[in-house]
Chain A
Amino acid sequence: MAVYSFYIFDRHAECVYKRRWLPRPASIAGKSRPTSDTPTVANGLATMPSTRTTDDDAKLIFGTVFSLRNMVRKLGGEDDNFVTYRTSQYRLHYYETPTNIKFVMLTDTKSPSMRVALQQIYINLYVEYVVKNPLSPAEHPGGLGVDNELFEQSLEQFVTRVLS
């Protein structure tokens, strides 16, 4: 199983953390982005135009999960929520806290459910190393304070050792 990327959105709908694991193909990762229509499976988002930046990715993902969640609630009631969806290229896993923090992980299509993993990231890493860290502010405009060493290191360990 492979984890492609991971995002955290705060209650202000801002992406406060993003992380990719597989190297992106040169056509996307490079500073100049020649338009390439070749689908790239590696990053799991092959169908999106390759001229995007990672910021654009984050916005698209937020828009997707936000709309999906709202629709799911309209259909299934206020307490309902979606857990995951799968395309032919990737699987998106979603976990939302009652404080409206949204954790999103993109993996390969064969991956099992990551809901528990996302919850563990929230409970054991985010709360311990970001929320309780007094040197990190209570809110994280521009990702301020989430990108601290303890959090990033333990996230890295969790994803590379525990999940793969």
Chain B
Amino acid sequence: MSHPPRHSSMLSISNNVQTAATPSEKPLPPTQLQATSQTPPGLRVPSNRKTIYDRHLNRTRNGELSRASFAFLFGEMVTYAQRRVTGIQDLERRLNEQGYPLGLRLLDLLFYRTTSSTSSSALSSSSTSASPPNRPLRILPLLHLIHGPLWRQLFNRSADALEHSISPDTPNEYMITDNDPLVNTYISVPKEMNQLSCAAFVAGIIEGVCDGCGFEAKVSAHNQPSELWPSRTIFLLRFGDSVMEREKVLERAGVK
């Protein structure tokens, strides 16, 4: 693993997505059911029980919020990060780090939803009859998961391109292109900072997804403007050696 400390340093606060698809890191508190009479240890819950355990995980699946709200939050995240960094690279690293936990959590949601949508009554059906495991084992299915479902979940559309490095020296490099990343919509990068890509945040999300699937990778965002798409961004995924070795083994074994 390239980032052993990152998992461990994650706080349990915020968006604690616990799903059936992945074993939860934290068992459900015993207090959540019918524990009204005694004063339970652990967290207090409101009497109307509007907690994450009582509300359906898909409740917000198709929910929408204002794009401006996202822009303002993201903008403030960039501003806050800017005050604590030494330069552009450092800023991108920090944005990447902020996206990373989001990727891990989204992955859980994504699996949960792809499972429950393929077997219509996921709750009642037994685990053996549920749909086949959807965690990608090989690089290509992982990339398709990112390019398609992940992008749709985040941005309501697929990414624009998916490519493999043509250089024989870098078979571990893949590129995902977004012609017009949401995160760059309102950003006008000054000339002296033209290297900066705030999409580093999205690169961090991708990295979180890869890591969460067991694919150690480094992901970075690069501005590649074209005439038609001034904020076109390429996400470069570089998989680690262990991943590439495993690929070879799985290929020989015929795993897809």
Contact = CB atoms under 8 A, between A and B. Distances in A.
Answer yes or no: do A and B interact.
yes
Interface of A: 128-129, 132-136, 148-151
A129 B188 CA distance: 7
Q: Chain B's interface: helix, strand, loop or mixed, by majority?
A: helix
Given A129-B186, A134-B186, 4 more contacts: A129-B188, A133-B187, A134-B75, A134-B187
B107 to A, nearest CB: 27
A103 to B, nearest CB: 20
Top 4 A-B residue pairs of the complex, sorted by shortest distance between their CB atoms: A134-B75, A132-B186, A150-B188, A148-B188
Residue in A134, A135, A136 whose Cβ sees the most chain B Cβ within 10 Å: A134
B71 A132 contact: yes
A134 B79 contact: yes
Contacts of B189: 135
Contacts of B190: 135, 148-149
Interface residues of B, number: 17
B103 to A, nearest CB: 21
Nearest to A130: B188
Nearest to B74: A134
A129 B72 CA distance: 13
A129 B187 CA distance: 7
B186 A128 contact: yes
Interface string B169-194: 00000000000000001111111010
Contacts of B78: 134-135
Nearest to A150: B188
B160 interface: no
A151 B255 CA distance: 52
Contacts of B185: 132
B76 interface: yes
Nearest to B79: A134
A5 to B, nearest CB: 23
Interface string B66-77: 001001101110
Contacts of A136: 188
A59 B95 CA distance: 41
Contacts of B68: 132
